[in-house]
Structure 1
Amino acid sequence: MKYLDISVVTYNSEKWVKPFFESLLRQNFPCSCIRLYFRDNGSVDGTLSLLKELANKFSSQFLLIHIDCGGNVGFGEGHNSNLRRVESDFFLVSNIDLEFEASSLEVLLKTAEEDAPEVAAWECRQKPFEHPKHYDPVTSETLWCSSACVLFRTAAIRKIGGYEKRIFMYGEDVELSYRLRDHGYQLRYVPKSVVWHHSYEEPNQIKPLQFLGSTQANVLLRCRYGRWDEVFLGFCMYLGLFLVPSQFPRQRRQLFFGFFHIIRRAPFFLLTRKKSRRKFGFRLWDYEMTREGAFYEHSPYKQDAPLVSIIVRTTPGRSGRLREALTSVDAQTYRRIELVVAEDGGDSARQMVMNHAGCGRFEGVIYLPQAKVGRCIAGNAALAVATGELICFLDDDDLFYADHVEILVGEWLKNKKLGAVYGLAFEVKTKIKTYEPWVYSNEVYSVVYRQKFNRALIWHHNYLPIQTVLFRRDLYLKHGGFDAQLDNLEDWNLWVRYSLHDDFLMVPKVTSLYRVPCASTQAVERQKVLDDYYSKAQEKHSELRVELSPTDVLKMAEDLSRELYLVNVPAHPLRALALRTPGIRSLYHPLRHMYHLLRKARGRSRS
């Protein structure tokens, strides 16, 4: 059995100490293999006495509990103090204000032991608010790891000298991550290793210490890892903070002292600039592209989770894309999944799918090789055999983030009358170098659709990328599957039929991505095809019937007008105003009569 060393820094953390210990004791990973190192940074509440009390109480259950105390040396330097005592191959840095799920450490350590030697850090997923930064859904590689709960390879973190002691608090985890990458190491995100981090009392909470510390650190990190224009921009951004409205008392005063802190330390960071040619991200005050939904709040399921069927459509000659899509399905944090793969035009994917069937990850795996029948009929074959209460599609060139199914199912469980639930998605402009092998680069990420459900609008045009939607299987049983006559926009036709009588719900978080051509010529050609099929789809929709009251029709017309037009001024109030205005009132009816005569004349000339 491997041993694990855990480092914790405390400062006036009394209320978190007991829950932290209790969550460790509930771990599947044996506490007898854990060494706990606490460094208290001068707490003035009961933190230190409670630590000693619990250390005595639980000393027989842990391999070691060591407590050190002293002045407030900062977050990173506190962990550096513990690092000097570490004996095991892996070193877990953890906040005190969090609780581990039962499998957290077991999953995290297993992932690290199986990973390549060049990987140096593995970050846990945080709940109830997941950190919104982007990570690669296929490789789980990330550009920086939050130190709220992260596992390090001890040899790697010692090699680079631990945390930067000149950053007191906030930003030190990004700097350490960048320094690891500057030395050639890789970093991973492990969504299946979950901790409940009690960092925010409410969504969008402003914490003065975090605001001040993170802005100062951003400028200093730019001095070490940014281009020269990014360094200059960092100073400009900081000075610009003096012009924005204050979010907490004495904000400008604290910013003033913070600026002198930056000036005093900037020369050292400029003299110790990066050694490699790696690019390090700076996006204003962020370091990496973020996924919308920073304060989407996760909650544990309160009932049995339903089976979800994930339908993947593919064709021969797309093995690289299919492999990535299936990897993103395998990475799902939701457990009850049935995988259905329909291959249109051959059986080249058989072995790949069977490998996933043998991994024991899914409750069922169904492989459907087809003659060349088209993706609609292939998709319908998959729908016919799927047994899940809920269904979602993942075409082979799209990807799920690890929490996609978990989040959508969680929202549906709150209201099972919903016909479908859908999340936001990145549209990724992709430059393809070769198809087989699958070699590409992702150039631009953007969220194109973030529209809340509007029945009139979805009947007007499609704003639901196919992989974003999780729907009830009984909608398929009632309305059928894809229309085989639509080679494109077949998903739009499906959503129109499924929304005739059932509501959908949008979840405001990015949980998936879909690819579009990067080259403008390809994008134009693709749009032409979609435009051609738009009229064909509309013809199909004209055959549908739905019963609506006059009030429903008026409301839908108002909703559609409000969504489609930037400026929407109702005619009735304007007409009433005109009729109340002297002068205009005398001209209104003659002009209106003339307008109708011209319309009739135009109609006769056309006939």
Structure 2
Amino acid sequence: MNSPQSLSLRQELSFENLSDVSLDISIVTYNSFKWLAKFFDSLASQRIPLKQIRLLVRDNGSTDGSIAWLQNFQQEQQHNYLEISVEAGANVGFGKGHNANLAKAQSPFFLVTNVDLEFEPDTLVELLIQACADGPDVAQWECRQKPYEHPKHYNPVNGDVLWCSSACALFRTEAMRKVGGYEPLLFMYGEDVELSYRLRDNGYRLRYVPKATVWHYTYEEAAQVKPMQFLGSTYANVLLRCRYGSRHQVIGGAIMYLGLLAVPQSFPGQRRGLLKNGLKLLRSAPVFLRTRRKSHQPFPFRLWDYEMPREGSFHAYPEKTGDEPKPLVSVLTRTTPGKTGRLAEAVASVAAQTYSNIQLVVVEDGGNTAQAFMDEVRGYGVLSEVTYLPLPKMGRCAAGNAALAAARGELLCFLDDDDLFYADHLEVLVDAWQKRPELGAVYSLAYQVRTEVISAEPWIYREIEHSLLYRQQFNRYVMWHHNYLPIQTVLFKRSLFEQYGGFDPDLENLEDWNLWVRYSLHHDFEMVHKVTSLYRVPAKAEMAVGRQKMLDDYYAKAQEKHAQLRADISPVEVLSAAQQLSRDIYVTLIPAKQVRKFILQVPSLRWLYHPLRKFAYYVRRVRNR
């Protein structure tokens, strides 16, 4: 788990500390002519001096003019870089091409990158700052991709991840050489997962660096099916199971592959390609089975995927022009004494945000045990403002209201000390709100994480299961029936607090539901379909049942409060509310009108019309007694 010390170390490093760090950039091209100019223009715009960069280019038999363009670029730009090496040869595949460049590497860090992408100005600086801050046990750092982020889960506190995409990733050169580079038997696709697994099998850690961003134009449209990717990734998945999977996973992979031959084709030639790769599997699988993993590290397989996917993979980040206003966002955190460890994780997830204009407000209910930690947080230099309010014991609602009163942001968001943001949480929600600033609030999806707490202080725990329970589009009538918004998922305007107040002090639980109900009386919310946060629930069933009973007891109290509220609603809206509630709440309810219409359309059932009407009348009369 992460610690405040590791965060502060990262912030002590700066651009100036990188002046002596050289970087080798490995590029493999294949008919990449249309991407080259924009790629190298974005590279030239990096804040790191080009004289610290060695370019190692391998062309895999292009026929579109890529080689001539690269050779001309080498001639014209050689004096601007530490070195430019351009080599042309046969198409040996992605991994072998980068292995050829690795043999020429001289710098401590080795960046593997596609050319169908563009760097943001701080991409390389962010990567190198993180790499220089990390210890020698970290071997790889992955960039965030836009407009579509790679959908896999990562640790929101320290960025640890089980595998890294090689679309743009930085390696520790020594570690990459130690494990032998990319697997030569994988021509394209899956070689990045295999190398990541091999690095971890040899004791290394991998990191995701969301603040290091590239615009990767890999999809022409969301969820596009690409034949080469489909064939290459399914082939690689079976082989990776042979090396890193259990016996059941190896057998399961073979069965899954055979099953693809029976399903409808997604593109012409799919079965032919699968059969061709099947013959290759028969030759390559024994090699992977003879070189089985050595460690007990987790190497997950999820059907054709690997790490747990984070839902919302095709939520598109908007193009930035550089002059968009960034409203101040106040993140409001409630904590209590003796919970500094989990508070440190929550704060770390705020410090890791890709959104930059943040006020952090931490209210400690019942003491000032977090004072030293919060003083350190102020020194990070990442957050725009840090406010710490130690209070005598006043309760959850009073602590929340103190945080609301101290907030200066135009937009507010809660983050209790046992919840976490993914790095893009605020960026995604602010983008959504800026598209529709008339909204009272926007919210995203969140994982519920069953968590076994081993120690409260120091904060040690084990995550058992991630679940996505709520995908409810905004419906105020459903909201009035039950809460479907985990508290940390909602970004709302401060003006709502100023107009309608904060938490009701009579509610020590479900106080957030009551808040959303009051705010939704007159203001619309909007859902963003992407997981951007997580919240914890007890792993043990008896604890979960006790927690649920407490919430159920407070449900009646909250409804008593809601009974005092009034909404201006028309008869038509009442009917609409009833229809929406019946659709969204009840599983088997069928409207009487629909049953009647069905009976009248089927001649053999028409004799049921009058008996059923009498029965329905009887049921309604019994219910109304």
Q: TM-score range by the shorter chain?
A: over 0.9
Q: CA deviation at 1:20?
A: 0.7
**Deviation string for 1:484-519 (max 9, x for gaps)?**
111111110011111111111111111000000000
Q: CA deviation at 1:408?
A: 0.5
Q: 2:103 aligns with which of 81, 84, 92?
A: 84
Alignment partners' CA distance in 2, 1:536 and 1:236: 54
Check the 8 A contact 2:141/2:164 in 1, yes or no. yes
Per-residue CA deviation, residues 129-185 of structure 1 (Å, 9 max, x unaligned), is 110111111121111111001100011001111111010000001111111111111
| Aligned residue number for residue 553 of structure 1 | 574
Alignment of 1:500 with 2:500, yes or no, is: no
**For each residue in 1:399-452, what CA deviation from the matched residue of structure 2 results, as whole angstroms up to 9, or x when unmatched?**
000110011001111110111111111100001111111111001011011111
The alignment status of 1:423 with 2:444, answered yes or no, reads yes
For the residues of structure 2 that align with 1:141 and 1:11, how far apart are their CA atoms?
A: 32
Query: Which of 313, 319, 326 lines up with 1:294 in the alignment?
Result: 313
- State the shift of 1:279 in Å: 2.2
Residue 346 (structure 2) aligns with: 325
1:223-262 matches, within 5 Å, as 223-262=242-281
Matched residue, 2:534: 513
Report if aligned partners of 2:162, 2:196 keep a CA contact under 8 Å in 1.
Answer: yes
Q: Superposed, which structure 2 residues align to 1:250-289 within 5 Å?
A: 250-289=269-308
Q: Is the 8 A contact 1:296 1:509 kept in 2?
A: yes
CA change 1:549–1:167 in 2 (3 A) is same
Counterpart of 2:17?
none
Offset from partner CA, 1:215-272 (integer Å, 9 cap, x none): 0000001111111111111101100111111100010111011111111100111111
Contact 1:20 1:97 in 2 (8 A): yes
Shift of 1:602: 9.6
CA distance in 2, matches of 1:521, 1:321: 23
Give the distance between the partners of 1:423 and 1:599, measured in 2 at CA.
39
**Amino acid in the other structure paired with 2:306:** Y
The residue identity in structure 1 corresponding to 2:216 is H
User: Could you tell me how far apart the structure 2 residues matched to 1:373 and 1:253 are?
Assistant: 69
Question: SS at 2:184's partner residue?
Answer: coil
Q: Does 1:215 align with 2:234?
A: yes
The residue number in structure 1 matching 2:4 is: none
Structure 2 counterpart of 1:444: 465
Alignment partners' CA distance in 2, 1:11 and 1:602: 72
- Shift in alpha-carbon separation, 1:333–1:601, aligned structure 2, 3 A: closer
Structure 2 residue aligned with 1:162: 181
Deviations 1:260-317 (A, max 9, x none): 1111100111111111222211111111111001111001345211110000000001
Secondary structure of residue in 1 paired with 2:79: coil
Is the CA contact (8 Å cut-off) linking 2:599 and 2:608 kept in structure 1?
no
Quick one: which of 100, 108, 128 aligns to 2:147?
A: 128
The answer as to whether partners of 2:345 and 2:420 remain within 8 angstroms in 1 is: yes
Using the alignment, how far apart are the partners of 1:167 and 1:265 within structure 2? Answer: 10
Q: Is the 8 A contact 1:328 1:401 kept in 2?
A: yes
TM-score where L is the length of structure 2: 0.94
Conserved? CA contact 1:301–1:410, under 8 Å? no
Identify the residue that residue 15 of structure 2 maps to in structure 1.
none
Residue matched to 1:171:
190
Question: 2:14 maps to what in 1?
Answer: none
Tell me the residue number matched to 1:364: 385
Q: Which position in structure 1 is the counterpart of 2:5?
A: none
For the structure 1 residues 545 and 103, does the alpha-carbon distance in structure 2 shift closer, same or farther, using more than 3 Å as the test? same
Q: Does 1:94 align with 2:138?
A: no
Residue 185 of structure 1 corresponds to 204
What is the CA–CA distance in structure 1 between the aligned matches of 2:623 and 2:98, rounded to whole Å?
Answer: 82
Partner-residue secondary structure (3-state), 1:432? strand
Deviation of 1:567 (Å): 3.6
Separation in 2, partners of 1:235, 1:198: 32
Change in Cα spacing, 1:597 to 1:535, as seen in structure 2 (3 Å) is closer
User: Is 1:462–2:483 an aligned residue pair?
Assistant: yes
Report deviation, 1:96.
Answer: 0.8
- Counterpart of 1:380 (choices 390, 396, 401) is 401
Question: Cα deviation per residue 1:466-490 (whole Å; 9 max; x = unaligned)?
Answer: 0111111111111110011111111
RMSD: 1.9
Question: Structure 2: how far apart are the matches of 1:598 and 1:336?
Answer: 58
1:525 paired with 2:546, answer yes
Bigger CA drift: 499-508 or 563-572? 563-572
2:376 maps to what in 1?
355
Going from structure 1 to structure 2, the CA distance change for 1:143 and 1:573 (only over 3 Å counts) comes to closer
Contact in 2 for aligned 1:313/1:394 (Cα 8 Å): yes
CA 178–585 in structure 1, closer or farther in 2 if over 3 Å, else same: closer
Closer, same or farther in 2 for the Cα pair 1:313/1:301, shift >3 Å?
farther
How far the C-alpha of 1:102 sits from its partner, in A, is 0.3
| Correspondence for 1:48 among 60, 67, 77 | 67
Matches of 2:121 and 2:157, distance apart in 1: 25
Quote the offset at 1:46 in angstroms.
1.0
CA–CA separation in structure 1 for the residues paired with 2:594 and 2:130: 65
Q: How far apart, in 2, do the equivalents of 1:376 and 1:599 lie?
A: 42
* Deviation for aligned residue 1:578: 6.1
Q: Distance in 2 between matches of 1:164 and 1:587?
A: 70
Please say if 1:39 is aligned against 2:58: yes
The equivalent of 2:35 in structure 1 is 16
